[in-house]
Amino acid sequence: MNIEKQIEFDQIKARWMDQAVTKQAKETIRHVTFYLSEQELTKQLADTTQGRALMEQLGMPPLQDVEEVKEILMAAEKGDCLMPGQLERLETVLAAIRRLKDYLARGKAYENPLGYYEENFDELPGLREEIQKQIRNGAVDDYASGELQKIRSRMAKCEEQMKLKAEQVMQSGRKYMADHYCTSRDGRICVPVRKEFKQKISGSVIGKSATGSTLFIEPSGVAKYYEQLQLLKLDEENEVYRILYTLSALAADAAAVMNENIRLVEKLDFIFSKGKLSMDLKAAEPSVTLERTIILKDARHPLMDRESCVPLQFEIGGDIRGIVITGPNTGGKTVAIKTVMLNCMMAQCGLHVTCKEAVICMNSAYLCDIGDGQDITENLSTFSAHIKNVLHVLQEVNRESFVIMDEPGSGTDPAEGMGIAIAILEELKKSGCLFLVTTHYPQVKDYADQTVHLTNARMTFDKDSLRPTYQMVIGEAGESCAFYIAERLGMSEEMLATAAGAAYGKQAAKKYLSGAVRKGNGRPYQPQERSRQQTGSRISRNRKSKSHAPALKFGLGDSVMISPDRKIGIVCVPVNEKGVLRVQLPDKKIWISHKRVTLLAVAAELYPEDYDFSILFDTVKNRKIRHDMERKYTQEIIRHEYE
């Protein structure tokens, strides 16, 4: 039984997770459950309050997801060489830690306890400075070291010489060129030479055009500089790796400190996510007590629109352990009990609640049975699913539990369902738990009214507008208003009188007809003749045959099944005009109506053509007589048991 899904706490968690930044904080929220330690719960609620207060004073905290940095630090600790992009990501997180440290330090001015987390952070200024100095734009900077600067300067000069030489060749051999510019092929500077003048330009052919009419030749003077450039690139690569390995070693040395920084970031992210949710829901900090008391003032369902949601006033505890809530359909009974449990569970998970004020007791378990619970795969009806959940609740419940149930005993015979509902309430009362139950059974209302530690409550209903007002009045039993709603929506007086008589007896029907029950002009009931006119589409029916003889669908030798015993037999006498046939069972022959017989297979599918069915149905004696008749005259008589 998924309690969180039934009361919609899973949707609160999803909304809560959206407020978190780090992956670890989101995972913590996904698996969070209600706290059973008063000390831990008090701390969690204080964190939520302090986190919200700090954000209201200083704005949103500068948090970043740090999951990728964990992997970078692990690679550094293994001795891997970190790439420039990884080092830049590490520096970005270090910068975020610097900003977060400053943010928390400003919180000290407001005497907010969260501000003192600032002292636990180490921003590692040395590592951050080295990365900033040596890495830029996803690459090792030219000025990362003096040696690297020299190498890259020589490389730039070498590339300039290559271009200069190529341009000189083009100027001197302009008449041999296919174009007016030099080009680069595979990193080599080439000049475009017409194919017929290949021998006029000294150098190596690097490529040719698609048509083959132009050859791309690297002049000999350019090749010399290209070889120098390749050697410089090797020197550059070695120097770059030396710098990266040095920075990686610095990151590995700082891994322990950095991991502690990351842990604190994730912890603060979790705290601030609770504060953000509180601000988003416009929630308030509840008071937590170990007394078995729940008091909610102006409570609302956290997933409903704040403007349209009617605040709920609720109180249970002391001498009252259970409340039976009644009222019309769509009157808000189910929403009310969900609102109470949802706010209680949010509070016990360290969250603020959507109430103006709240006193909430700690519960060892939250148990509920809401919804029809039908499950085709498990062959569970609505009633069966309810009972399965209820039995689980009764097995788990104890004095420190909080239970809600939506219409226990529904989905079956009303009289029996009412009895089951009262039995469930009696068991809940014996356990000493706090519980809320909705019902439409009048006997359950009477039970709650007459039983100690239980009371009724009703959801109010505006009879003029036929709309629920979603207000709960504790201490009074409600009514379903079904007759009143049906009358206002146009149900005839005759039907209402029939309904009242069936529900409450003839006297109630007479009172209803005399106008004593209903508001209005009080005129006595006058039966009205009503004509029923067929409207809409009509069903086309097949004309019935005048013959009443049953269809001859069973023939000799057909395999059939007898209902309801589901026995298998063979037809030994086909169906007659009365619809009766005889069936050979394993131990006897019986006469039976064709309505109790189901055809499994026709004889043609089971036996060869011209099969002698006397082998199946005749006695050995009759078969011997028939054999004698075929050979000689005899006075023996064949008696057919199946005729």
In this predicted structure, the answer to whether residue 526 has a pLDDT above a threshold of 50 is no
Percentage of the chain lying above the pLDDT 70 cut? 84
Whether pTM exceeds 0.75:
no
In this predicted structure, the answer to whether residue 549 has a pLDDT above a threshold of 50 is no
In this predicted structure, the answer to whether residue 522 has a pLDDT above a threshold of 60 is no
Which pLDDT score is estimated for 504?
67
The tens digit of pLDDT for each residue in 68-96 reads: 999 999 999 999 999 999 999 999 999 99
Which pLDDT score is estimated for 128?
93
In this predicted structure, the answer to whether residue 209 has a pLDDT above a threshold of 80 is yes
The tens digit of pLDDT for each residue in 134-183 reads: 999 989 998 999 999 999 999 999 988 888 888 888 888 888 888 888 88
In the 8-state DSSP scheme, what is residue 525? P
Nearest to 349 by CA among 49, 29, 34, 39: 34
- How many CB atoms neighbour CB 385 within 10 A? 18
DSSP string, 367-403: EEE-S---BTTTTB-HHHHHHHHHHHHHHH--TTEEE
Rg (CA), the chain: 45
Q: Rounded mean pLDDT of 377-402? A: 80
Tabulate helix, strand, coil % of the chain (nearest 5).
45, 20, 35
Instruction: Indicate the pLDDT class of residue 637, thresholds 50, 70 and 90.
Output: low
The tens digit of pLDDT for each residue in 315-349 reads: 999 899 999 998 776 668 888 999 999 999 999 99
Lowest model confidence (mean pLDDT) among 22-36, 163-177, 250-264: 163-177
Q: Where are the alpha helices (DSSP H) in 182-305?
A: 220-253, 255-281
In this predicted structure, the answer to whether residue 466 has a pLDDT above a threshold of 60 is no
Which pLDDT score is estimated for 373?
47
Q: Rounded mean pLDDT of 202-218? A: 86
The tens digit of pLDDT for each residue in 277-310 reads: 999 999 999 999 999 999 999 999 999 888 778 8
- Distance, in Å, from the CA atom of 108 to the CA atom of 136, rounded to the nearest integer, reads 35
- How many CB atoms neighbour CB 524 within 10 A? 8
What does the block give as tokens for 614? Answer: 């006397």
Which pLDDT score is estimated for 182?
84
In the 8-state DSSP scheme, what is residue 542? P
Which pLDDT score is estimated for 253?
95
Question: How much is the mean pLDDT over the chain?
Answer: 84
Percentage of the chain lying above the pLDDT 90 cut? 47
More confident residue, 437 or 221: 437
Task: Provide φ and ψ at 444, rounded to 5°.
Answer: -70, -40
